[in-house]
Amino acid sequence: MTSGKKMIAFLGTGLMGAPMVRCLLKAGFPVTVWNRDGAKAAPLVADGAKQVQSPADAVAGAEVVFTMLTNGAAVAEVLFEKGVAGAMSKDAIFVDCSSIAPSIAKENARLLGEYGIRSLDAPVSGGTAGAAAGTLAIMAGGDAADVEALKDVFAALGRVTHVGPSGAGQICKLANQQIVAVTIGAVAEAMILAEAGGASRAAFRDAIRGGFAESRILELHGGRMVNRDFVPGGASANQLKDLDAVMAMADSLSLTLPLTRQVRQAFADFVAEGGAEKDHSGLLLHLEKLNRKDQA
C-alpha cells in the first residue's frame, strides 16, 4: 500500500469510469487503469493513474478491483476469459459497478467464490455529473462486512447503501432505472403539453421547481430538454438495455408493470430511429416526432 491507502485497479474507463477514477485519485488512492480502448484510459495518466495493457496486469497486487463495463457479457469476459479472477489476490474484493442482470451478478459472485474472492455488485446512479462530483448513489449487494471494509473507498465516489445479498444491488439499480425512465417520459410529455398550450418550456420548468414535481430528473434532464443538449451522460441504448432487464425480471415474477412496459417501448422506438447514442433525455425527440405525425 501507498500512504495507507488501498491499492485499486479500475477496469473500464468510459463515460462513468473515468470520472470515478479521478475521484479516487483525488482522495489519494493509487489507481491502475485498463480499458479495452486504451485511448480512453490514457488521459488518466496525467491525473496520476498507472495505465497497463491487460486487465490481468491491472489487478496484480490490487486490494480492490472495480469494473465499470457495458454489460454482463463484458464483465464475465474480463473476469473469466481475460484472466482477472485468476490474477486477483485472494485478499482482494471485487466491486462491479456495471449495470447488469441480477442473475449474472449472482453467477459471477458464485464463480468468484470458487476462486476464494469476495465480491460486491455495486451499480451506481447519478450519471456523469454525479461521477465527476463524487456524489453517486451506490447500491451494494453482497456481504455487509465487505461494504463496511470499503467505506473509505466508497466515500470518495458517493454514498453507499448495503441493500442485500449478491444480486440485490442490481435489482435496486433496475428499480432506479424504472423511475428514471418513467420520469424522463413524464417530464418530456409535460414540456410538449406546456409548449403546445402556449407556455415557454424553460419558464414552465422554472415555475414548477420546488413544488411536488421537483426532482433531479426535472433539474438535469429537464434542463437538457430545454437546451436541447442530448450529448450522452446516459445513452438511450443503455437505458433500453436496463428496461429490457426490468421487463425480463417482471415477467419471471409474473408482475404487471404497465408504465414501465410503455416507456420501454418508447425507448425501443427511439433507439430504432437512431437515438441509441443520444442521452436518454432525448426521448423528447421521439415524443415530438409522434406529435408531428399526429398533427400531419
Q: What is the pLDDT of residues 31-46, one digit of tens each?
A: 999 999 999 999 999 9
* pLDDT bucket at 233, cuts 50 / 70 / 90: confident
1 — pLDDT class (breaks 50, 70, 90): very low
Residues 6+ apart with CB under 8 A from 221: 184, 187, 279, 280, 281
For the stretch 47-99, pLDDT in tens is 999 999 999 999 999 999 999 998 999 999 999 999 999 999 999 999 999 98
Distance from C-alpha of 219 to C-alpha of 138, rounded to nearest angstrom: 20
Catalytic, out of 6, 173, 241, 278 = 173
CA separation for the pair 121, 138 (Å, rounded):
10
Segment 3-14 shows an average pLDDT of: 93
Integer angstrom CA distances of residue 174 from 94, 137, 154, 170, 194: 21, 13, 20, 6, 30
What local confidence, expressed as pLDDT, does residue 217 receive? Answer: 96
Please choose, from the candidates 63, 61, 91, 97, the residue with its C-alpha nearest in 3D space to the C-alpha of residue 78.
97
Tell me which residue of 6, 8, 61, 18 sits closest to 43, measured CA to CA: 18
pLDDT at 63: 98
**Contacts of 105 by beta carbon, 8 Å cutoff, 6+ apart:** 72, 96, 121, 141, 166, 167, 169, 170
Paired residues of 94 in beta bridges: 65, 119
Residue 234 has a pLDDT of: 87
pLDDT band at residue 294 using 50, 70 and 90 as cut-offs: low
Query: Above 60 in pLDDT, residue 251?
Result: yes
Asked whether the predicted pLDDT for residue 206 surpasses 90, the reply is: yes
Rounded to two decimals, what is the model's pTM?
Answer: 0.86
Cα distance between residue 113 and residue 109, in whole Å: 6
The mean of the pLDDT values for the chain is: 95
Rounded to 5 degrees, φ, ψ at 139 are: -105, 105
Taking residues 233-258, what's their average pLDDT? 93
Average of per-residue pLDDT across 273-296 = 92
Type and span of the H or E element at 235: none
- Identify which of 162, 280, 147 has the alpha carbon closest to the alpha carbon of residue 225: 280
pLDDT at 296: 55
> Domains (ranges, CATH) in the chain?
8-165 (3.40.50.720), 171-295 (1.10.1040.10)
At 109 the pLDDT is 96
- What is the rounded distance in angstroms from the CA atom of residue 36 to the CA atom of residue 16? 15
Q: Answer yes or no: 151 catalytic.
A: no
The residue that leads in pLDDT, 294 or 45, is 45
Contacts of 193 (CB under 8 A, 6+ apart): none
| Averaged pLDDT for residues 176-182 | 96
For residue range 136-160, list pLDDT tens digits in order. 999 999 999 999 999 999 999 999 9
Residue 2 has pLDDT above 70, yes or no: no
Task: Answer whether residue 100 shows pLDDT above 80.
Answer: yes
Q: Is the pLDDT of residue 190 over 80?
A: yes
